[in-house]
Structure 1
Amino acid sequence: MPETETSPAPSTGENREYDYDLFVIGAGSGGVRASRVAAAHGAKVAVAEEYRIGGTCVIRGCVPKKLLVYGSHFAEELQDAAHYGWTVSAMSFDWAVLRDTVLKDVDRLNAAYTSTLESHDVERFLERATITGPHGVKLASGREISAKVILVATGAWPAVPEFEGSEHCITSNEVFHLEKMPKRVVIAGAGYIAMEFAGIFNALGAHVTVVNRSDVILRGYDEAMRDRLLQITMARGIEYKFHCPFNKVTKLEDGSLEVNLEGQDPLKADIVLVATGRKPNTAGLGLENAGITLGEKGEIPVDEHNRTSCDSIYAVGDVTNRVQLTPVAIREGQAFADTVFGGMPSTVDYGCIPSAVFSQPPLAGVGLTEGQARNKYGNIRVYSSDFRPMKNVFAGRQERGLYKLITDAATGKILGLHMIGPEAPEILQAAAIAVKAGLTKADFDATVALHPSMAEELVLMR
């Protein structure tokens, strides 16, 4: 492949100028995909990972968290079983069993990701690597390595606000390793991580208090979905304290915690989980040695081809702070490898990216929210379906699902689709294809409903 400005060809044979064609720092979703694809294109690739192969999503993020969601769902399922004729007696829950089963699956995925790299002859260094210059990295062991291209894929890290006693708090990194099930949980923040863990611990029987500096949960999601989730979770027993900055967390003699909030009586807790966002993991990487200046939030600025201000250094995934989602990091890693080593210049389309919150109940959305659509298009039309899922009716639960279609009033084109209710993320994935394809409300109306299902509400909205 001829070398181009955006696609430096991998070197081969005895004339290799560098130790590696590509050196990747970080073996998460984006780094592993980039390594595998670059190697398939003929590049000599190495990757450094200071913890475990697989990254945040696989090791301490969305995958183990989803398994905890599954485990917590059984509390509701077992309660509802009586309505279906089942007698379930002597119910009990063992946190250690769920925790260890989840961690066992993390081990499985770590091995699977490692096997993927091995099968593509990607060399692995299980230690920290820092950048020493445009083509140089240094391992924690002291070894210095040269590479024609360096890719930074170090992800993001939990952001912990500064307040007295913050060292007594945990983040989503540690929550999967708790020795015992907490009875009282205080969660700082109201984003997707906070709301997912609030649902998990609430379902497992803990008293959960969500503390937030503002009065908005899930900022950026459609307002109607947020309001519905707030109503349902409050009815389920989750307590909210809004406009409440943390003043201090004190560890008591019995090991419990006392949480002091601005303008509130102290709270007692077994754990305080800080879930106030994630910051790009760039501290101490040595990017300044290659002349790279970080952005305001510590992110690595890159162009549409994932290249930094240094021509030989690229970055993908959460470390760039574009869209902090695993599938996006994977697409960026693929585009990088195809562009730089495959002779196939590629970019990622960031429009209409579906997202979900695995709260209880879950919500999901794609495209513009109602507010965003009004601001951009002005004249819009909103269709909705506010219904009680059949499962809830039969179980005697009052919780209602809500689906919303937002369209351009002039053309009928669907601008956004948002839903909250059982299995909402599973339903949205297929519907997101239609939104991405630019289909209209008429196209949905022309589709025969699949009955009886919750998904049929998508083609019956008025």
Structure 2
Amino acid sequence: MAFDYDLFVVGGGSGGVRAARVAAAGGVKVALAEEDRMGGTCVIRGCVPKKLMVFASGYREMFDDAQAYGWSLEAGTFEWPRFRAKLEAELDRLEGIYRKLLEGSGVTTYDARATVKDANTVRLSTGEEITAKQILIAVGGRPVVPEMANADLGITSNDIFHLETLPKSILIVGGGYIACEFAGILNGLGVEVTQFYRGAQILRGFDDEARGLIADSMKAKGVDLHCGTNIVAMEKDGDGVRVKATNGMERVFDQVMFATGRKPNTEGLGLEEVGVALGRNGEILVDDYSATAVLSIHAIGDVTGRVQLTPVAIREGMAYVETVFNDNPTPVDHKLIPSAVFTQPELGSVGLTEEEARDQEPIEVFCTSFRPMNHAFAGRSDRVLMKLIVSRETRKVLGCHIVADQAGEMIQMVGIAVKMGATKEDFDRTVAVHPTMAEELVTMKAPVRTA
């Protein structure tokens, strides 16, 4: 049977675009459909605009610190419309780059929603049907809101970038990295931020000591954080939203933002009808090679519910091309992936937490917390945390956790060493770069505890 294309990619995010480009560069005839904007969650409504907002929100403290360093200047007022206009222009520029990259690679693009008709056919929202030898699903995920009365009064992280004006007050519901990042961002931009999380501590899944320090830092910076707390009821109140909470609080907020989880975008794609198996949360079930239960259909990225990070989706896309089109079966290694949470201060993490490691084997914990030079000079109380988890048997560094400004930059480098299997003694043999915060990672001599 002759197909219209060798590969049809459904979804124009980072993973789908990379797979399409790499396959096309190898001579594969490729088409890609995207119903919204090229670039997906990361470029359009996630990592990129969020990080730019992190940068913007940090200037208030910078202006204060500058005075302590001898500069005579005063912080002005933050102009949201001015920033938003430049942000939108930057996202337009990035989307244009993605489109040019696809065009330059010879990928045919369709600005339409694609659903799966059968194992080798997709149906576009335009009514057109297209056949392909292989179909790759890379449609990502979306934020979800809890099922409760008047939940539609709240917004999600998708909406935050498009607000006409910044609210004077906001309630953020959730305790994951998205909730905590936006709590810090909006607080830094001058919004009165309250945060509810129904769990005992924010950032579940990260190292307990790191989570605690970040929670304390958020509170010290002005975020009104309430753990063990959830919404009982919410209703419209004038231009705001009246919220009743489990802790007895009742007040009106200008905005309520839900950051209570994400869900794969598999609804209405026709996957189950053609035999693709889905998990409990709607994620596409795949093997180590991103293959589904249907031989001609694979899936990568957030829609698979594996590790929901942009660089992981990109790697999965490249491994897919190697496996399917280059006759080089390539599984994706999901172990020891460094990650950063852009809270204020940032959290950088790679490998096992202390809690995970001590359940696995005997360990030593090397840890230090201190006021860094720049904050101490400016009179700030902000502290940083540097932590290594070490196997007592093999001496390998099983995990590293950093809470500090620029922790994301540091953990990228540490991640290389941990991935290579570096031991604590390898760290010890490395000469410190002085004066830096990161030098503490190679100067900690005695464990603070064993487990």
Give TM-score, length-normalised by structure 1. 0.95
In structure 2, the residue corresponding to 1:415 is in which secondary structure? Answer: strand
Match of 1:118 in 2: 103
Match of 2:426 in 1: 443
The 5 A counterparts of 1:27-176 are 27-89=12-74, 91-176=76-161
Q: Give unmatched runs, 5+ long, in structure 1.
A: 1-15
Q: Would you say how many aligned residue pairs link Structure 1 and Structure 2? A: 445
For residues 405 and 332 of structure 1, the distance between their equivalents in structure 2, rounded to whole angstroms, comes to: 29
In structure 2, the residue corresponding to 1:130 is in which secondary structure? Answer: strand
C-alpha contact (below 8 Å) 2:63/2:74 kept by paired residues: no
How far has the Cα of 1:263 moved from its partner?
A: 4.2
Match of 1:425 in 2: 408
Match of 1:389 among 325, 347, 372: 372
2:330 matches 1:346: yes
Match of 2:319 among 332, 335, 349: 335
For residues 178 and 368 of structure 2, the distance between their equivalents in structure 1, rounded to whole angstroms, comes to: 27
How far has the Cα of 1:411 moved from its partner?
A: 2.4
For residues 263 and 91 of structure 1, the distance between their equivalents in structure 2, rounded to whole angstroms, comes to: 37
After superposition, what is the alpha-carbon deviation per residue over 1:236-260, rounded to whole angstroms, capped at 9, x for unaligned?
A: 111122222322221222x111112
Q: For residue 59 of structure 1, what is the amino acid of its counterpart? A: I
Match of 1:371 in 2: 355
Q: For residue 444 of structure 1, what is the amino acid of its counterpart? A: F
For residues 224 and 247 of structure 1, the distance between their equivalents in structure 2, rounded to whole angstroms, comes to: 30
2:234 matches 1:258: no
How far has the Cα of 1:293 moved from its partner?
A: 2.5
Q: For residue 253 of structure 2, what is the amino acid of its counterpart? A: A
For residues 277 and 357 of structure 2, the distance between their equivalents in structure 1, rounded to whole angstroms, comes to: 35
Match of 1:205 among 169, 182, 190: 190
The 5 A counterparts of 1:177-196 are 177-196=162-181
Point out the more displaced range, 150-159 or 81-90. 81-90
After superposition, what is the alpha-carbon deviation per residue over 1:410-449, rounded to whole angstroms, capped at 9, x for unaligned?
A: 2211000001011111011001100000010111110110
Q: Give unmatched runs, 5+ long, in structure 2.
A: 446-451
Match of 1:305 in 2: 289
For residues 208 and 361 of structure 1, the distance between their equivalents in structure 2, rounded to whole angstroms, comes to: 16
C-alpha contact (below 8 Å) 2:389/2:400 kept by paired residues: yes
In structure 2, the residue corresponding to 1:241 is in which secondary structure? Answer: strand
How far has the Cα of 1:291 moved from its partner?
A: 1.1
The 5 A counterparts of 1:279-290 are 279-290=263-274
For residues 200 and 83 of structure 2, the distance between their equivalents in structure 1, rounded to whole angstroms, comes to: 33
In structure 2, the residue corresponding to 1:329 is in which secondary structure? Answer: helix
C-alpha contact (below 8 Å) 2:168/2:254 kept by paired residues: yes
How far has the Cα of 1:25 moved from its partner?
A: 0.4
For residues 317 and 336 of structure 1, the distance between their equivalents in structure 2, rounded to whole angstroms, comes to: 11
For residues 293 and 246 of structure 1, the distance between their equivalents in structure 2, rounded to whole angstroms, comes to: 34
In structure 1, the residue corresponding to 2:161 is in which secondary structure? Answer: helix
Q: For residue 256 of structure 1, what is the amino acid of its counterpart? A: G
C-alpha contact (below 8 Å) 1:164/1:247 kept by paired residues: no
Percent identity at matched positions? 51
Structure 1 runs (4+) greater than 6 angstroms displaced: none
After superposition, what is the alpha-carbon deviation per residue over 1:17-42, rounded to whole angstroms, capped at 9, x for unaligned?
A: 10110001001011001100111111
After superposition, what is the alpha-carbon deviation per residue over 1:319-350, rounded to whole angstroms, capped at 9, x for unaligned?
A: 00000000000000000011111222211111
Point out the more displaced range, 80-89 or 30-39. 80-89
For residues 369 and 305 of structure 2, the distance between their equivalents in structure 1, rounded to whole angstroms, comes to: 35
Give TM-score, length-normalised by structure 2. 0.97
For residues 231 and 124 of structure 2, the distance between their equivalents in structure 1, rounded to whole angstroms, comes to: 39
C-alpha contact (below 8 Å) 2:202/2:227 kept by paired residues: no
After superposition, what is the alpha-carbon deviation per residue over 1:78-137, rounded to whole angstroms, capped at 9, x for unaligned?
A: 111111221113611101112222121111110111111000110010110100000011
RMSD of the TM alignment (CA)? 1.0
C-alpha contact (below 8 Å) 1:37/1:338 kept by paired residues: no
Residue 90 and residue 337 in structure 1: after superposition, are their counterparts in 2 closer, same or farther (change >3 A)?
closer
How far has the Cα of 1:216 moved from its partner?
A: 1.9
For residues 230 and 197 of structure 1, the distance between their equivalents in structure 2, rounded to whole angstroms, comes to: 14
Match of 1:241 among 222, 226, 235: 226
